[in-house]
Chain A
Amino acid sequence: MRRLFDEELADLDNSFTEMGMLVSQTIQKSVQSFVDHDREGAKAILENDHQINEREAAIEKKTFEMIALYQPVTTDLREIVTILKAVSVLERMGDQARNIANSTIRVKGTKHIASVEQSLGAMGEQVATMVSTVMEYYIKNDALGAEAIADENQSLSKRAAQVRFDSVEGMKEDAELVDSAADYLVIAGYLKRIGDYTTDIAEWIVYKRTGKIIELNPGYNYFI
């Protein structure tokens, strides 16, 4: 019975980390599409979004089954609860990638601010790395690493604040930049939100390792 449980738990773990990697890649692609003004790339992200949703549902279903069938306790329970909670966070990250793709398709401005787009690209890189890093911490059960994600998220927040400042300055200087700059603001907000979500996952990693519920994102917002 226990061996079967261990096998199923290992499967669940794999599905969860695979989904994390998929979400990380999707975020990266969505930002890249925006920076490249690549509507086809953005459409592909919208078309594939259901994959993330389906993975979430499958993982949730599996966790319910395992709780009902094996009635796990202590470390087993914490691992399953961590996956159950963190999988919805991954799905919400996927939604943000979809939002970025929608902005890419909708964008009307013809005039752009190259430096801001570069910053957004860098933010996208950073946040996608944060997502894959937090998944690695999950795999390694590294609670201290997970805690350090909060610092990374602060640096992302600062970048978002810079994008906001530059976008607003751009709009003040040139009315033709308003269409694009409004999108920059929104996208910086989406990326910032994804950063916050990585700290949510990090909190669950700490819970899985220690059984303690902590707060890694205590409400300092440099942006919206």
Chain B
Amino acid sequence: MANNIDLKPVSEFITENAPERFILDMNSDKHEIAISTKDLQVYYGDNLALSEGDLSFERYKITSLVGASGSGKSTFLRSLNRMNDSVATVNGNIMYRGVDINTKAIDVYEMRRHIGMVFQRPNPFAKSIYNNITFALTQRGHYKKQELDEIVETSLKQAALWDQVKDELNKSALALSGGQAQRLVIARALALKPDILLLDEPSSALDPISSAQVEDTLLELKNQYTIIIVTHNMQQAARISDYTAFFHMGKVIEYDLTRKIFTRPKVALTNDYISGNFG
């Protein structure tokens, strides 16, 4: 209670010179870091799309990446599980469990089992619901039918889809509604038991109800997963994320607790962006 009322003189709260950037110092003594980046730079050809992207993401939290189109947030997200390798040059370190995963020695496919990605448009395979979830597993390993059944059930339950599809697991995934399909794709990513789930505007193609279902799912999932989400929906970022990073012209301008970003951002540019004041 004591901290709710500030007793210092008002002059100490007035900052005439707002900082140009503010990046939360995620102290690893206090916060368990799931993944972090250092000196990350992404070039598309000669074009520097992202620089100074030094961020640490806390485990079992949802972090939103926000910013205008072209600000570098999706580039940043896709770099985290090496999705940019074929289209861009990514310099710098991406530290995951004490290992820099941005090196040639890393088995990218193995790494993506730990760091899964869900895209903007639901992209279920033209297979049954069941096979959508088991496909990646059966490609790379040998599982008994009973094991696969369990994984399908667990993943669908985690993605809050089980009750709706449990009696028609052999139905084509293409018959699902948009919200269901997106949750199936989340379930598919979860089947690989990742540590970190990256989502690139996962509900921008969905109606408000489906979008709310996806949000509820993410809130459930954060007990077991670290979630990093790119979103254009400010209210979504405000509703579900613990931390928010604001990207602008290829740089992280401000990174802080979401409740601070949406009530008292430290950088004027952040304030303008999230309150919709672009003029």
Residue of A nearest to B10 (CB): A147
How many residues of chain A are within 8 Å of chain B by beta carbon? 24
Whether B10 pairs with A146 at a CB distance below 8 angstroms is yes
Residue of B nearest to A73 (CB): B262
Whether A144 pairs with B11 at a CB distance below 8 angstroms is yes
A2-B276, A2-B279, A213-B5 given as contacts; is B263 within 8 A of A74 (CB)?
yes
Is A214 an interface residue when CB atoms closer than 8 A count as contact?
Answer: yes
Is A212 an interface residue when CB atoms closer than 8 A count as contact?
Answer: yes
Whether B275 pairs with A72 at a CB distance below 8 angstroms is yes
Give the distance to chain A from B153, nearest Cβ to Cβ, in Å. 38
Whether B264 pairs with A74 at a CB distance below 8 angstroms is yes
Give the distance to chain B from A82, nearest Cβ to Cβ, in Å. 13
CA distance A206 to B235 in the complex (A): 26
Residue of A nearest to B264 (CB): A211
Is B249 an interface residue when CB atoms closer than 8 A count as contact?
Answer: no
Query: Per-position contact with A for B249-279: 1 when CB-CB < 8 Å, else 0?
Result: 0000000000000111100000100111111
Is A48 an interface residue when CB atoms closer than 8 A count as contact?
Answer: no
Is A76 an interface residue when CB atoms closer than 8 A count as contact?
Answer: yes
Give the distance to chain A from B260, nearest Cβ to Cβ, in Å. 9
Give the distance to chain B from A111, nearest Cβ to Cβ, in Å. 46
Give the distance to chain A from B277, nearest Cβ to Cβ, in Å. 6
How many residues of chain B are within 8 Å of chain A by beta carbon? 23
A71-B235, A74-B264 given as contacts; is B6 within 8 A of A212 (CB)?
yes
Give the distance to chain A from B17, nearest Cβ to Cβ, in Å. 14
CA distance A214 to B13 in the complex (A): 11
Residue of A nearest to B238 (CB): A73
A2-B277, A73-B238, A76-B275 given as contacts; is B263 within 8 A of A214 (CB)?
no
Contacts of A71 in B (CB 8 A): 235
Is A215 an interface residue when CB atoms closer than 8 A count as contact?
Answer: yes
Whether B5 pairs with A73 at a CB distance below 8 angstroms is no
Contacts of A74 in B (CB 8 A): 262-265, 271, 274-275
Give the distance to chain B from A217, nearest Cβ to Cβ, in Å. 12
Whether B263 pairs with A210 at a CB distance below 8 angstroms is no
Would you call the interface of chain A mostly helix, strand, loop, or mixed? helix
Contacts of B13 in A (CB 8 A): 143, 206, 209-212
Which of A5, A73, A143, A147 lies in contact with B263, CB distance below 8 A?
A73
Whether B10 pairs with A144 at a CB distance below 8 angstroms is yes
Whether A73 pairs with B274 at a CB distance below 8 angstroms is yes
Which of B9, B235, B271, B277 lies in contact with A147, CB distance below 8 A?
B9
Which of B9, B234, B263 lies in contact with A77, CB distance below 8 A?
B263
Is B4 an interface residue when CB atoms closer than 8 A count as contact?
Answer: yes
Contacts of B234 in A (CB 8 A): 73
Contacts of A211 in B (CB 8 A): 13, 263-264
Residue of B nearest to A72 (CB): B275
CA distance A48 to B193 in the complex (A): 70
Is A114 an interface residue when CB atoms closer than 8 A count as contact?
Answer: no
Whether A214 pairs with B10 at a CB distance below 8 angstroms is yes
Is A75 an interface residue when CB atoms closer than 8 A count as contact?
Answer: yes
Residue of A nearest to B4 (CB): A213
Contacts of B278 in A (CB 8 A): 2
Whether A214 pairs with B277 at a CB distance below 8 angstroms is no
Give the distance to chain A from B248, nearest Cβ to Cβ, in Å. 16
Contacts of B209 in A (CB 8 A): none
Contacts of B6 in A (CB 8 A): 212-214
Contacts of B14 in A (CB 8 A): 143-144, 209-210
Is A68 an interface residue when CB atoms closer than 8 A count as contact?
Answer: no
Query: Per-position contact with B for A4-48: 1 when CB-CB < 8 Å, else 0?
Result: 010000000000000000000000000000000000000000000
Is B87 an interface residue when CB atoms closer than 8 A count as contact?
Answer: no
Q: Give the residue among B9, B238, B262, B264 with the most A Cβ atoms within 10 A.
A: B264
Is A175 an interface residue when CB atoms closer than 8 A count as contact?
Answer: no
CA distance A147 to B14 in the complex (A): 12
CA distance A5 to B262 in the complex (A): 18
Lowest 7 A-B CB distances belong to which pairs? A211-B264, A210-B13, A147-B10, A212-B6, A73-B262, A212-B13, A74-B271
Residue numbers of B with Cβ under 8 A of A are 4-7, 9-11, 13-14, 234-235, 238, 262-265, 271, 274-279
Residue numbers of A with Cβ under 8 A of B are 1-3, 5, 71-78, 143-144, 146-147, 206, 209-215
- Beyond the given A2-B276, A71-B235, A214-B7, could you list 5 further A-B residue pairs with CB under 8 A, ordered by the A residue number? A2-B277, A2-B278, A72-B275, A144-B10, A209-B14
Name 15 interchain pairs, CB-CB below 8 A, sorted by A.
Answer: A74-B271, A77-B263, A78-B263, A143-B13, A144-B10, A144-B14, A146-B10, A147-B9, A147-B10, A211-B263, A212-B10, A213-B4, A213-B6, A214-B6, A214-B7
